[in-house]
Chain A
């Protein structure tokens, strides 16, 4: 039973090492000691798999205080999978952070606090502890984004801070309304009370204040998950953070808050939000991809793709069909894998060449072919090319959405994703430099010629190869993995009061995924993506891209979006 508490406590022990390293003479030693607790965490998770797989929930009451009074952690299927995802990405990011010696042990202090906070978000069973853990995650994230103390990093961190604090105030207001109506904060108790009040279908949804509470909670979490009216902090924060931090922020931090939102929406049986989520997801994915296409900064482009891919996840969950949870979750996991990989390699490329602009940066393919190959694996995965994992999970999302008109938007998004990754791949492979209108670099200052490209370091290769292999393997074994996910998620969904029963998928072999129709569709996407890419590089395309790029919402406008978003969620409840 203690294993659940240790999942939260162990990263804190690690962070203590990071703090001690600031005072001690050997900061390097303490930095390594700080990340070591990830190993026993992985072991604990592996040990608890059989129990979780059997459908049982491992609960742990902090300090021995039971459910309505104390803080109780629950390790169910959903929490287990998210926890594993956090540990996997954290290991890769920590190894990558050792690659640059500039990060002192205080960096690892904040990294471990971030990981601990995320573990609390996925494990906690009551909404106030959820608020506290959100704030722990956020505080660590603000510091990490500003860690290099560049101007852009500081301002991005401040922008994130102001937006997400306003968001969390709405969340806290939602918590207040829930507490006023139910007199409890524990999700399990709310669930029981709700069913006592005559079933989730009518008992809960008629209360106006609960509608408003759900809207407020969704707005608060929406800022953390960055779907469209609330996304504006993400491109800056993820683009100007230190590279490993971008990887972990895009990889897990935005997903973890979304998983918390699924739990809340289910428990408060806010099934009426599903259609809104579906459309927000579809619109998010397509708008973000248009923005991404217009970017010329490598990391900003990747950051916009994080928003776009979260749109897929949101749309899949919002579709509320029997496979939607499995589809959404697999896409979230796969996105975590390939986006961390892309951020780590792109960050290393920027560190090597010292150039963020993808049109001016020299390709690193010749200097570090392994990194280039890893980047291509990530790019192929995110564009949904078989046999990588993005293909599999995008097909699953398609199945989950069924014939919904929102799927059309996602198909267009796929074309945009393809195009922008053809565009961004020029930072690793010179093959894509077909455009003759590229800014000609004089040979004397071309870093490739003068040899100014810094070495990549060998340590970065481990996380890159590790994540690239995971992308490939989770693509090859996608059907059995999907079955595994649904096996774990179904009991958790049932317990939380999911609006639809989660179908346990059967591993139908690879054949079910690689139908010829789907392969033809993929080929069409590739061709259309290439055409779109050429189109963006034509003079009118460049002009449009430039004007899109200039829509950089200032803080003031952004906060107005916010109020609009809250109104949208609240209105949808009444209709």
Chain B
């Protein structure tokens, strides 16, 4: 053997390792001009003078990335197996909770997959090696999130209804067009707008509201598996958030001309993201049997306080808080109640069950929403509950008008009047379009050519593109099992099964 003497090598520092990975890897192309190789990098108007100025503050290199991601996977899958072996689904507080998971699996997990595709796409289109690598890692993270969420929740699919065809439902079910169209809006934008929308507005400014208090709530409700995939994903998310802040600062520092473009994107994507989180408000206030904090408290903690610090920091670049943030704060005491009411109206067409809050839950809602709950929403629930007791459970038989931008039924109220539905409209090329808010209207009016193409579920049903003219035909087309997946929790097969389990808890049937 011709052994080489061992090289005495100093271990490289974190900064050096990162610099080796991200510097000097790109080159000026010669066979094709740069603008042909990177066709999307300039049309949005963002000017980058020095791609090398991009720095990932975590300075993660591929070896460290694989090492820690593998460790996260090992931990998560140990929990998933243990959860299955120990019949973890029997330990949740109440089967109503599973309906939040149904919404998560059909509404959120497919977004993780869209994010995977989005980052893989934009990563290809940036000139600098730093952002390309950051996008590549995030693309892999997002794929991991989609997969781990499906694996984790597949355990519930063995016992509960409505979890059997999430991907198909995501593409077709009316309320799932809200998250779907949000992401397609982002993925069909240019690469810089995509990063502003998803990395900054969504990941940095807003997703804490979904993954932090809701996952803490999952833990509180005995769902060990969900809290584990939630935090496993969120440990990547912390890195994504940092990237989100970095991309914003990078664009703002590169050229003063970028400031107004970035500000407009922040305004747009704050509002788009906030509307999407309406679903989360209802998950927190109505769908967790044991609650951690109210939507209003979470909004105060994660947007009002955290956002104040963030936007104060960005003010040195000339960036201000997103437009209509004050409307979101005005709405915080009614958002979840309005959204839950929409679903109660249309529970016959949803892939999860609804219910009216119990007396005890209403006490909690009154305490958390002292200025609004008893005045506006308790009387409404009381009326619905009396109607149901008389055998006249209220269903809304008419398909709702949808906001052209966020695609949510027009159920939100005026910023200064919680008793009047907020309607806005705009005309474009002889057609009139409708909106739930000034925020959504502004977004449409800036890019009408984009939003006139919106696939609005209600319009599509009326045009005959969704399986047929009857509710049952449409639900078939959604792959939703009529009388099983939809309607109230009360009387559902889910409830029957859960009650049987509860009865068996102390018994030994022979």
Q: Are A and B part of the same complex? A: no
Q: B residues within 8 Å of A by Cβ?
A: none
Q: A residues within 8 Å of B by Cβ?
A: none
